[in-house]
A and B are shown apart, each in its own frame.
Chain A
Amino acid sequence: MYRFLWRRLPGGTALRLSVVLLLTGVAMAALWYVVFPWLAPRVPLG
């Protein structure tokens, strides 16, 4: 799966790596600032 996604990315290795890092960062920021704050109160951890 990861190999398939890697091949679908545009450009050479450097550009692909940059795109991967950018997308990962965006996904992590969305999780940290949007998804997790919404989800946390619903987790019965106390």
Chain B
Amino acid sequence: MRAVTRVIAELCLPVGLILLLFYAYLLWGTGAETEREQQVLQHRLGEVFDRHDRHAAPGEVRLGDALAMLRIPRLGPGYRFAVVEGVGPAELRKGPGHYPGTALPGQPGNFVLSGHRTTYAAPFNRIDELRRGDEIVVDARDARYTYEVTRKDVVDPGDIGVIDPVPGHPGRRPSTALMTMTTCHPEFSAAQRLVVQGVLVRREERHG
């Protein structure tokens, strides 16, 4: 019995080290993976912006491909993420994802994004710092869309009304262009969802 206890106690050391290593992987290893993906996606997006196929139907974007560039000035000049199409685990490893079937940038309805809060470069880690009136800039193929934050809330994971075309009013026909960003809340937990919503205030055609 004593020998068994001793072996168990000795096994605690490698198990503890493995858990520490896993924690380091979650915080930094996943971030490095996402940053590599982002470099590729942002480069491809830059090529799309430079070409003259800006009027290609946005629906042509495949799952996992870059849809638009997201910038939030409140979170710093270096804050920019390529938004990918899709919100499955494989897509969210690359960066914030667009819920398929929800509105596209600038369209009437709800342009819904989801992103990680603590892992995979944590694109939405600091969206809790956003205040009413802060700008969210979305560079899409055809134009630059600027949204202004109107609301911030914490909801249960099952509260899917926040992604309705008119949030909280399923079935209602949208007349304005909204955007919603969702992420896990609190940090290091998926118990709730932090939701930041905004309304489109400006559309600028990109030239050149």
Q: A and B: real partners?
A: yes
Nearest CB in chain A: distance from B18 CB, A: 7
Chain A residues at the B interface, C-beta cutoff of 8 Å: 1-2, 28, 31-32, 36-37, 39-41, 43-46
- Given contacts A32-B21, A46-B116, A46-B189, could you give 12 more A-B pairs where the C-beta distance is less than 8 Å? A31-B18, A31-B22, A32-B29, A39-B22, A40-B25, A40-B119, A41-B93, A43-B26, A44-B184, A45-B184, A46-B184, A46-B188
Given contacts A41-B89, A46-B183, contact A36 B189 (CB under 8 A): no
The answer for the CA separation of A37 and B89 in the assembled complex, in Å, is: 11
Does B10 lie at the interface of the complex (its beta carbon under 8 Å from any beta carbon of A)? yes
Closest residue to B92 on the A side, CB-wise?
A41
> How many residues of chain B have a CB within 8 Å of chain A?
25
The answer for the CA separation of A7 and B190 in the assembled complex, in Å, is: 46
Given contacts A31-B18, A46-B116, contact A36 B6 (CB under 8 A): no
Q: How many A-B residue pairs have CB under 8 A?
A: 49
**Is the CB–CB distance between B10 and A45 below 8 Å?**
no
Nearest CB in chain B: distance from A3 CB, A: 10
Q: Cβ of B42: which chain A residues have Cβ within 8 Å of it?
A: none
Q: Cβ of B102: which chain A residues have Cβ within 8 Å of it?
A: none
**Is the CB–CB distance between B118 and A46 below 8 Å?**
yes
Chain B residues at the A interface, C-beta cutoff of 8 Å: 6-7, 10-11, 18, 21-22, 25-26, 29-30, 33, 89, 93, 116-119, 183-185, 187-190
**Is the CB–CB distance between B6 and A1 below 8 Å?**
yes
Interface of A is mostly: helix
The answer for the CA separation of A31 and B190 in the assembled complex, in Å, is: 24
**Is the CB–CB distance between A36 and B119 below 8 Å?**
no
**Is the CB–CB distance between A40 and B30 below 8 Å?**
yes
Q: Cβ of B21: which chain A residues have Cβ within 8 Å of it?
A: 28, 31-32, 36
**Is the CB–CB distance between B118 and A36 below 8 Å?**
no
Q: Cβ of A32: which chain B residues have Cβ within 8 Å of it?
A: 21, 25, 29
**Is the CB–CB distance between B26 and A44 below 8 Å?**
no
**Is the CB–CB distance between A1 and B22 below 8 Å?**
no
**Is the CB–CB distance between A1 and B7 below 8 Å?**
yes
**Is the CB–CB distance between A1 and B89 below 8 Å?**
no
The answer for the CA separation of A32 and B93 in the assembled complex, in Å, is: 16
Nearest CB in chain A: distance from B201 CB, A: 29
19 chain-A/chain-B pairs, Cβ below 8 angstroms: A1-B10, A1-B11, A28-B21, A32-B21, A36-B21, A36-B22, A36-B26, A36-B29, A37-B33, A40-B25, A40-B29, A41-B93, A44-B190, A45-B118, A45-B184, A45-B188, A46-B116, A46-B185, A46-B188
